[in-house]
Amino acid sequence: MAHEDPTGLAYPLSDYNRIADEDDHHTLPLGIPTKKRRFEPVHIFTALLSWLCLMAAYITITTHLPLAWYLGFSGQIVVIGFLLGIMDLCTLTVVPYTFILLEARFGSSSLQNYEALLTSQVLSPGAKPIWRLALGFFVVLPFGLSVAYKRFLGGTSSAQITVNPPGQYGIDFPDISAWAPSGDAIYLLATSISPFLSASQYNPQPYPPVDAFPSPYGYNTLLLSGNAAALLDIRTKSYVKRAQASLSNTAGEEWYLNSTVDAYVAMQAIGSDSQSNDRTWFKAVNSSVNLWPAQGLSGAYLWEKPGVSIDFMPSEDNTQCFIGVYENSEVQEGFLTFSNPRYSEYASFRPYAQEFSI
132 and 105 part of one domain:
yes
Q: What is the pLDDT of residue 178?
A: 54
Assigned domain for 254 exists: no
In this structure, the answer to whether residues 223 and 275 fall within a common structural domain is no
Q: Which helix (H) or strand (E) holds 299?
A: strand 297-301
Query: Which span out of 9-18, 19-28, 91-100 was modeled with the highest average pLDDT?
Result: 91-100
324 touches 310 (CB < 8 A): yes
Phi, psi dihedrals of residue 258, rounded to the nearest 5°: -130, 145
Of residues 48 and 188, the one with the higher pLDDT is: 48
Q: Tell me what the pLDDT averaged over the chain comes to.
A: 76
Same domain as 196, residue 144? no
Taking only the tens place, the pLDDT of each residue in 105-144 is: 787 888 888 888 887 777 888 888 888 888 888 888 888 8
Q: Which residues are within 8 A (CB) of 203 and not within 5 positions of it... i.e. 6 or more apart? A: none
Q: Name the domain count of the chain.
A: 3
Query: Do 51 and 146 belong together in one domain?
Result: yes
Determine the average pLDDT of the residues in 243-261: 72
Residue 28 lies in a domain: no
Q: For position 209, what pLDDT does the model report? A: 74
Identify which has the larger pLDDT, 153 or 53: 53
Q: What is the mean pLDDT of residues 314-339?
A: 85
Domain range for 184 is 169-245
Kindly state whether residues 139 and 204 are assigned to the same domain: no
Q: Where are the alpha helices (H) located in 1-128, listed in sequence order?
A: 16-22, 41-61, 67-106, 111-119
- For residues 120 and 46, membership in a common domain is answered with yes
258 assigned to some structural domain: no
| Domain edge (last residue) among 215, 245, 275 | 245
Residue 151 DSSP one-character state: G
How far apart (Å, rounded) are the C-alpha atoms in residues 210 and 310? Answer: 27
| Whether residue 194 has pLDDT greater than 80 | no
Q: Among 17-21, 212-216, 240-244, 275-279, which is the least confidently predicted range?
A: 17-21
What pLDDT digit, counting tens, does each position of 147-190 carry? 887 777 777 777 777 766 666 777 665 565 555 554 555 544 45
Give the DSSP H/E element, type plus range, for residue 320. Answer: strand 320-326
pLDDT of residue 2: 44
Assess whether 56 and 137 both reside in one domain.
yes
